[in-house]
Structure formats: C-alpha cells, structure tokens
Structure 1
Amino acid sequence: MGWMTRFLSAVVFLAIGVLFAPETFGSKSDGQHPPKLATFLKLAHLLCFSTAFGAALWVTFIGGIIMFKNLPRHQFGNLQSKMFPAYFSMVGVCCAVSVGSFGYLHPWKTASASEKYQLGFILAAFAFNLSNLFVFTPMTIQMMKERHKIEREANIGEEVGWTKNQEVAKVNPKLSAMNKKFGMIHGLSSLANIFSFGCLAMHSWYLARKLDL
C-alpha cells in the first residue's frame, strides 16, 4: 500500500491547496468559471462522491455482514485486514477530490452558508477516513493478529460466528482481555466509519436538492 499512501498524500495536499488558496489554481471569487472546466469539476465531484458513498454503503451495511456470516472467522479477519486499508484509501482519495472540486467551484470567501456546511461535511468524512486509515485500522489489524494467535492455541477460529470465542473466553483470561481491547479499538473504527458515512449521506441530500430530473 506504499504507492497508495503516496498517491493519497499528493491528492490531499492538492485538495488542501485548492481549498485554502483556490485563486492560485485559477478559481474565480465570483464563482464564474469556463463552462467546460465547471462541467469537468462537477463530473469529478459527482463521480468521486458517488464512489465513496456507494463503497461506504456496501462495505458498512452489506458486504461486511455477508462475509462475517459465511466465512470462518480467521479467514474473514484476514480478508478484512487486506480490504480495509484499500477501502479507506479509496474513499479518502474520493473525498479529497470531492473537497478540492467543491472548494474550487465554491470558494470559501464567497460561498453561501449551505455550501460551507457541505464543504464541512465532506471534510469531516475525509478526516474520519484518514483516522481509520492511519490510526484505527493498523491498531485493529495488529490486535486481530494477536487474538488469532491466542485462538489458534485454543484450537478455535476456523468456525463461523463468535460462539466458540465467547465460550473459551469465559475460561481463558488472556483471550477475554484481548477481546475487550480489540472490541474497543474496533468499535472506534466502526464509529468513525459510521460518522463518515453519515457526513456523506448529508451531502447526498444536498446534491439531490440540486438535481433537476
């Protein structure tokens, strides 16, 4: 994921530059832009936002639940440890592009209150994703590996569901303590992901009001 981190960093710095100094990139304070440029930026914003929103919806409420209910726990955990860094990186890039394009089209100095709120929602979604990518996900993966080791020693982990883990944890203090640590960090990660999805959902309502079908 090294190349993805570098790419994300480049996109982030570009988005920050567009956000705080849009005039440097040719943005007009009066909001008037060449039609082709405006259309391109709107398309970039729409595609990146919809990608982020759709991915968050699928991973949070559909894909993850289906995998958990059908895969052996260790296999599920190992898959998640590979999928989530890519997921948060992709959503982070999409949010950064959305922030940059929206900030370019609606410079902060002349943006309406509604537009400033929307920029805040996208920025918040971006921040929650970065917190997951660089803080919570690495911690969760590390704790998951440690718990897998403890579970293998107890000859569990290849079953579907949490039943055996909970049974063994009642008589295994080490596993019980690890479950609590993992649950806390995983809970914070899930909470950040839910908040990010909520912010994207708020922006989807704003975009829906702008559509003329």
Structure 2
Amino acid sequence: MEGDPSSLAKVAQLFVLSLAWGMQIWVTFISGFVLIRGVSRHTFGLVQSKLFPFYFYTLVACAFLNLSIFACYHPWELLSIRETLQGSLYFLCLLLAVVNALGLSPATTAAMFRMQAMEREHSLGGEVGLAARREAYQQLRERDPKYRAARETFFKRHGLSSLFNLVCLVCNGVNLLCLGLHLGSL
C-alpha cells in the first residue's frame, strides 16, 4: 500500500495515536495522584490492579494499530530519517507495552498483594495518603525481612514498569509531534 495514505488511514492513525497518548497522560499523571489522596492505600492498590491490565492491553492494541498503519504506507527500504525514527518509536512502544502487559504488570501486582497481606497482619494499609503512619511502615521494614524483600521486589518491578510506560509516552508524544509538524493544514 505504498504511496500517499487515504484520508481514512490518516484519520485512523491520528485518532489511535491521540487516544493512546491521552490515555497515557491521564493514567500516568492524573488518576494515580487523585486516587492516592482520596482512598486508602490498599484500595488504591486494588484499583490499580484492575486498571493497569486494561490500560496496558489497550496501549498494546493502539501501538499495534499505529505500527500497522504506519508500515502499510512506508516501505522500510524507502524510509527517510524522520520516518525511520517514527517507525522505530512505534515499534519500541509496542515492545514495551507488551512487556508491561504480559510480564511486569502481573508480577508487580502479585508482589503488591504479597506486601499488602503482610501489612494487613500489622493493621496497616487502611490509611489515606502516602505520609500517613510512615513510622509504622518503617518499623515493619526494619523488623520483617520478608516484608522488606517483598517491598523491594514490588518497587523494582513498579519502577521498571513506570520507566517503560514513560518511554512509551515519549514515543507517542514524539510521533504526535512528527504528525503535527507534517500536517498539510488544520
């Protein structure tokens, strides 16, 4: 399908890319901050455990569609530097979203639930906000090596998942920028 994409392909590309980027902005920068200030820690974790699989699989679908539409109209042997960058960013986003959806998100959730079970044994997790009962969590970390290990596992996986999510957000942002700079008119 080499050549100039149809209007439908252009609109589909822009719609799917905008949907993914908007969803990423909302989940990454807004919903978590609102939730952590309004619900208990364990409720926050439960909501995130339900939200993230849907979020990551939706991101996988959007990344796949974006890469597919792009690949249909851009033969690899004829790509310019900008188009090579765009194609590479679509692929990187797809790859990282798949790793998050299939690997990191389920592993992070499992580690979180192990950590929460230990917290419940010590009557922790029902407080709202991150600063509440900070000393009690510190004491639990110091006294219980299993909790400390579960917490370290959780934060390593969560950190890697967050990093992959931010890289996907940047990939989609740069691709939106590339599309926006090459619009014929508004």
Q: How far 1:167 sits from its partner (Å)? A: 4.0
Aligned to 2:84: 116
Sequence identity percentage: 33
Greater relative contact order structure (CA < 8 Å, 6+ sep): 2
Q: How far 1:170 sits from its partner (Å)? A: 2.9
Provide the TM-score with structure 2 as the length reference: 0.91
Aligned to 1:175: 147
* 2:111–2:151 contact (8 Å) kept in structure 1: no
Distance (whole Å) between structure 2 residues aligned to residue 70 and residue 151 of structure 1: 19
Provide Cα deviations, 1:6-47, integer angstroms capped at 9, x if missing partner. xxxxxxxxxxxxxxxxxxxxx13xx146xxxx1111111111
Structure 1, gaps ≥5 residues long:
1-26
1:49 counterpart = 2:14: no
Aligned to 2:59: 91
SS in 1 for 2:152: helix
Distance (whole Å) between structure 2 residues aligned to residue 41 and residue 116 of structure 1: 19
RMSD over equivalenced CA pairs, Å: 1.4
SS in 2 for 1:141: helix
Q: Which amino acid aligns with 2:143?
A: V
Q: Which amino acid aligns with 2:176?
A: S
Q: How far 1:174 sits from its partner (Å)? A: 2.4
Task: Give the 4+ runs in structure 1 shifted more than 6 A.
Answer: none
Provide the TM-score with structure 1 as the length reference: 0.80
Q: Which amino acid aligns with 2:7?
A: T
How many corresponding residue pairs? 181
Structure 2, gaps ≥5 residues long:
none
1:194 counterpart = 2:160: no
